[in-house]
């Protein structure tokens, strides 16, 4: 992969991470600041917005958990491949294979 393409993907990933973090922080701030508002009863717009923010935070938490599990699984898979590759390539020398070398 070209360096320019890799840097643009990295920038995009960091930008998305910052957007998700800002959304989560602003939603939490809205919930905390309006927790003791003067509720008008059924159909209160502030209560509806608080419920939307709670649902958003629950969804973000679930997505982060799934993403973390995917990253952990891919890291374990890579480590297993490296371990197996190291095991098989370590013994592939002419001396270990007892190969006669003719000059």
pLDDT in tens, the chain (103 residues): 566 677 788 888 889 889 988 999 999 999 999 888 888 888 888 888 989 999 998 988 888 888 889 989 988 888 877 766 555 555 666 676 666 666 6
Q: Which domain holds residue 82?
A: 7-35+46-89
pLDDT score at 89: 54
For every residue of 13-48, which 3-state class applies, written as one string?
HHHHHHHHHHHHHHHHHHHHHCCCCCCCCCCCHHHH
Q: Give the helix, strand, coil percentages of the chain, each rounded to 5.
A: 80, 0, 20
Indicate the number of domains in the chain: 1
pLDDT score at 26: 92
**Is 74 inside any structural domain?**
yes
**Is 100 inside any structural domain?**
no
**Is 21 inside any structural domain?**
yes
pLDDT score at 22: 92
How far apart (Å, rounded) are the C-alpha atoms in residues 1 and 38?
56
pTM beyond 0.85: the answer is no
**Is 95 inside any structural domain?**
no
């Amino acid at each position: 992969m070209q360096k320019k393409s890799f840097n643009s993907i990295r920038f995009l990933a960091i930008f998305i991470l910052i957007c998700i973090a800002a959304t989560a922080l602003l939603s939490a701030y809205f919930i905390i600041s309006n927790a003791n508002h003067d509720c008008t009863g059924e159909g209160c717009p502030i209560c509806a917005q608080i419920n939307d923010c709670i649902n958003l935070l629950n969804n973000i938490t679930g997505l982060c958990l799934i993403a973390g599990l995917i990253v952990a699984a891919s890291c374990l898979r890579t480590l297993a491949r490296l371990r197996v590759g190291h095991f098989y390539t370590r013994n592939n020398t002419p001396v270990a294979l007892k190969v006669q070398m003719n000059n």
